[in-house]
Structure 1
Amino acid sequence: MADTRQITIKDVAQAAGVSFKTVSRVLNDEPNVRKELRDRVKAIAAELGYVPNVAARDLAGGRSYLIGLMFDNPSESYISKIQTGAITRCRTTGYYLIVEPLEPTDDVVATLEPILSRLRVEGLILTPPICDNLAVLDAIERAGVRYVRIAPDRDADRAPCVAMDDVHAAYEMTRHLLSLGHRDIAFIKGHPGHGAAPRRLEGYLRAMGEAGLVVPAEHIQPGQFSFQSGMVAGEALLGLDHPPTAIFASNDDMALGVMWAALHAGLSVPGDISVAGFDDSQPSRMAWPQLTTVRQPIAEMSAAAVDILIEGANRGRASQPANRWLDYELVVRGSTGAPRPVSARVEPRMISS
């Protein structure tokens, strides 16, 4: 009969010719283990099919190997990528992810405190905008739980964070539209409570200012990082007496809402109106034409957040892991092109919701 017993850490130690403690240090990613030895032990563990027993590790070492993800972000595509990156990294490091959505209309702290007391997580990942909620940060610190913030807007040195340069990314996207010949470029702002929203607006305004262009007030529309808000803003912009030739929405969901509004008004993209977004979500690649956007390393950000929490757990509280800055990429697709001459432009149909 086949041997169906579970492979243990002692089996790995015996196969590798090292002590039980050495294998434990390697599998827990503790420091001061030679790279060659670390790689060999991990390879043997994988070959034997070793699966960590979380309950046993918890009892033996006082650690839960659980990481929590908490969010109140309205963008489903953004949160999907955040979860994917964190889950994938947790699986490769022997940790497990607990996901807790927090409704922004609730008393967030009242919801959070019982979670912190019942779940013995080794750390939390906080996404915007909740990562900038000072009452939430105070509650987490009172509970003595480590946390990492993704793209925070305030008190950046309060805890480790993972971020990218939203200002320069939006600046580059605006410069791309300018390089195509657009001068009437409108912008749709993001959720007012989201730290990235003002940074992306700043990048847009900087590029427009450097080009010597004055932006009419009506060319900057409010948004909520949702498809619906992009559709409403798009309808408002396309209904102006002098509509823009390009619209830069500060996330993909809103940009897709703009494309819907353009279609509803009888306009073609990019022939009559160019549209650009931000994030490089999966829907941006499923739209037709595909959306020009900024590829934000969302999954990589949450994976890096997991790494920071594990590094902090292994170090203890003696030192704080360094912040991580990740690169972005400008992705040019079919939704942007040169503006048509004024004489060839199509007047939008009357838009009614």
Structure 2
Amino acid sequence: MRIQDIAALAGVSTATVSRVFSNHPNIRRDVRDHVLAVAKEHGYHPRLSVRRRNVVVITPSRVLVPAENYSGMVLTELARELAERDFRIEILPADNIDRLDSIQFCGVVTVGIDETFAKGWDNRFAAPLVVVDRAVPSFRNVYAVHSDEGQGMALALAHLLATGHRRIGCLIYHWPGHSNSLLRQEAIKATLQEHGLPCEDALIRLVGPNDYIEEVGKLLRAGVDALFCPGGNGGIVTAYALSLYGKSIGTDVSLLSSERMMVSRYCVPAQTTITQDYPALAAAVVDVIHTRMEGRPSPQNILFPYKLIERDSVRRRE
């Protein structure tokens, strides 16, 4: 099907259809919606143009995942990388995802969104979908850019083991349907089992944002000598809970968490953390979009290792 066919079906001129697909500002909203609806009904996707440089970034609903956590750190790097490479960025919360049908774009990036969103993508849009933060099934024109959760959990635990800790409690930030938390739980159990250390469910907990204070108390009663809190704001909330229980971080119990920009390094004591390589993730996302715009193939799965940032919240146990 050609653009002329869409024009005939929509009852408008070819020039009008062209302006709709190029996101021209002088097209009435009702005309734009009508043309896009006709194109969608007949499975027509406008060809990607190297001149169309609008990237839509879909973020989690704020009701589900506070933006100041992981999503905010990814967005900071994505915005910088896209701007440096002359792309425009449009933020679209998951609550408004239906608006995609009325937006023209050269690529879509999802941050922390359930991977089921990718199903059937190629039947709806010609532009690539890049899923950040999780692996996805092998769908056509869908790409995953994420960090190695198994390696990250093993890296954190290896540091705690190397500093003499032998009874480690883990509080994993979790929302139902958030697959990374389950991957982290499995990796933590496997690593502790490999070293012959306690790994019962009572020590490895999936927790929501309001559960940390109670769960920290349970782990302290279980006699842990270190707390590992990947995801969310686990590091700062756990530090607060430890202060309520009268425990000194480092002296009484060590704490290792996920890096949070402008927070982790300024805690007292400064928190030892694991971090994803956010600049590398952002660069890889934009590379995928640029490569597909040029009609070249791109790897469907791009994986990065975590890094360890050593500070003062983990102290050696004799």
Same fold (TM over 0.5): yes
1:234/1:258 contact within 8 Å kept? yes
1:280/1:294 contact within 8 Å kept? no
Residue 235 of structure 1 is matched in structure 2 by 217
Q: Give the number of aligned pairs.
A: 266
Q: Does 1:64 align with 2:48?
A: no
User: Which residue, out of 174, 183, 190, partners 2:166?
Assistant: 183
Q: Does 1:334 align with 2:315?
A: no
CA distance in 1, matches of 2:139, 2:311: 37
CA distance in 2, matches of 1:322, 1:220: 32
User: Which residue, out of 155, 163, 167, partners 2:137?
Assistant: 155
User: Which residue, out of 275, 278, 292, partners 1:312?
Assistant: 292
Report the CA distance between 1:164 and its aligned residue.
2.0
Residue 171 of structure 1 is matched in structure 2 by 154
Moved more, 276-285 or 171-180: 276-285
Residues 89 and 296 (structure 1 numbering): CA distance in 2 closer, same or farther, change over 3 Å? Answer: same
CA distance in 2, matches of 1:331, 1:268: 20
Residue 200 of structure 1 is matched in structure 2 by 184
CA distance in 2, matches of 1:293, 1:62: 40
> What TM-score do you get using the length of structure 1 for normalisation?
0.68
CA distance in 1, matches of 2:120, 2:259: 30
CA distance in 1, matches of 2:303, 2:224: 34
Q: Secondary structure at the match of 2:305?
A: coil
1:252/1:281 contact within 8 Å kept? no
CA distance in 1, matches of 2:297, 2:151: 31
Q: Secondary structure at the match of 2:255?
A: strand
1:151/1:195 contact within 8 Å kept? no
Report the CA distance between 1:229 and its aligned residue.
3.8
Residues 281 and 204 (structure 1 numbering): CA distance in 2 closer, same or farther, change over 3 Å? Answer: farther
The letter of the residue matching 2:281 is M
Identity of aligned residues (%): 21
Residues 69 and 271 (structure 1 numbering): CA distance in 2 closer, same or farther, change over 3 Å? Answer: same
Which blocks of at least 5 consecutive residues in structure 1 are unaligned? 1-53, 104-110, 341-353
Q: Secondary structure at the match of 1:277?
A: strand
CA distance in 1, matches of 2:299, 2:190: 33
The letter of the residue matching 2:198 is V
1:234/1:262 contact within 8 Å kept? yes
Residues 281 and 157 (structure 1 numbering): CA distance in 2 closer, same or farther, change over 3 Å? Answer: farther
CA distance in 1, matches of 2:232, 2:272: 9
Which blocks of at least 5 consecutive residues in structure 2 are unaligned? 1-22, 26-48
2:273/2:309 contact within 8 Å kept? yes
Residues 128-143 of structure 1: pairs in structure 2 closer than 5 A: 128=112, 130-132=113-115, 134=116, 136-138=117-119, 140-143=121-124
The letter of the residue matching 2:53 is Y
User: Which has more radius of gyration?
Assistant: 1
User: Which residue, out of 97, 100, 103, partners 1:112?
Assistant: 97
Residue 146 of structure 1 is matched in structure 2 by 128
Residues 290-309 of structure 1: pairs in structure 2 closer than 5 A: 290-309=270-289
Q: Does 1:288 align with 2:280?
A: no
Q: Does 1:246 align with 2:218?
A: no
Which structure has the highest strand share of the two? 2
The letter of the residue matching 1:98 is E
Q: Secondary structure at the match of 1:214?
A: coil
Residues 23-42 of structure 1: pairs in structure 2 closer than 5 A: none
CA distance in 1, matches of 2:119, 2:84: 31
Report the CA distance between 1:276 and its aligned residue.
0.7
Residues 229 and 157 (structure 1 numbering): CA distance in 2 closer, same or farther, change over 3 Å? Answer: farther
Report the CA distance between 1:97 and its aligned residue.
0.6
Report the CA distance between 1:264 and its aligned residue.
0.6
CA distance in 2, matches of 1:80, 1:118: 25
Residues 327 and 62 (structure 1 numbering): CA distance in 2 closer, same or farther, change over 3 Å? Answer: closer
Report the CA distance between 1:195 and its aligned residue.
2.8
The letter of the residue matching 2:131 is R
Report the CA distance between 1:200 and its aligned residue.
2.0
CA distance in 2, matches of 1:215, 1:97: 44
Residues 156 and 206 (structure 1 numbering): CA distance in 2 closer, same or farther, change over 3 Å? Answer: farther
